[in-house]
Structure 1
């Protein structure tokens, strides 16, 4: 299962738990979710803002987004932590990607993603961002 599908499933589950009141959002949850949503938006922006960017820049922004998820995770407990932890796990392939040529040397297992994989990762982060933004307004 790809990261986009995993994030979509996580987002739907989070939205369902909030809607069904199984997840009671604390003020801290709302604050952290809002900050994380803003940080994710700053990292990946819109699909149009990614067009024409070099792969090295796209990868940098994806790693920034993953870092934003990890930082948010460090500040919460309970359901939001579980949600963010699962999201971070889904996005871990980004950590094994490289945008630069290997230059004939070892790459520590890093692989060059396809343009489709960049787009899927960016779309997954945008979906995560929308869910986090909706947590703040729920």
Structure 2
């Protein structure tokens, strides 16, 4: 399953739980979801803007999205934490990517990602942005 599909499943479940009133958001959860969404939007922009960046900067920004999600996860519990944990898990392949050639020596198990993989990860982040915005709106 690709990153976009995993994020879509997470967002569908969050939407269903909110719609069915299984998840009652506290004001702090709404604020944290909004803060995480804004953090992700600050880091990963529209497709054309992202594709214009050098690969090393695209990777840097994708790693920063994981930091935004991890910091948000550390500040909550319950369903929002579970959602954020799933989001981090979906983007986990980014942690094994590198943008620099190996030259001589090992790469600690990292791989060069393709342009399509960068695009997929960035699209997954945009889906997360939208999902978090819906969660924040409750």
Shorter-chain TM-score tier: over 0.9
What secondary structure, in the 3-state scheme, does the structure 2 residue paired with 1:80 have? Answer: helix
Distance 1:42 1:17 in 2: 27
Q: Distance in 1 between matches of 2:80 and 2:43?
A: 20
Q: Which residue of 2 aligns with 1:40?
A: 40
1:15 aligned residue:
15
Which residue of structure 2 aligns with residue 122 of structure 1?
A: 122
TM-score (norm 2): 0.97
- Give the whole-Å Cα distance in 2 for the aligned partners of 1:112 and 1:51: 16
Q: CA deviation at 1:125?
A: 0.5
Matches within 5 A, 1:89-108: 89-108=89-108
Q: How many residues align?
A: 138
How far apart, in 2, do the equivalents of 1:120 and 1:44 lie?
A: 12
Query: 1:20 Cα shift?
Result: 0.8
Counterpart of 2:76? 76
Deviation at residue 28 of structure 1 after TM alignment: 1.2
Q: Distance in 2 between matches of 1:136 and 1:98?
A: 33
| TM-score, with structure 1 as normaliser | 0.97
Q: Separation in 2 of the partners of 1:88 and 1:21?
A: 25
- Cα deviation digits, residues 54-80 of structure 1 (max 9, x gap): 100000000000110000000111000
Q: For residues 33 and 19 of structure 2, what CA distance do their matches in structure 1 show?
A: 16
Alignment match, 1:58: 58
Map Cα deviations across residues 68-125 of structure 1 (whole Å, 9 max, x no partner): 0000000111000001001101111100000000112110000011101000000001
Give the match's secondary structure for 2:112. Answer: coil
Let me know the Cα RMSD of the aligned residues: 0.7
Q: CA deviation at 1:4?
A: 1.1
Give the distance between the partners of 1:48 and 1:119, measured in 2 at CA: 10
How far off its partner does 1:49 sit?
1.2
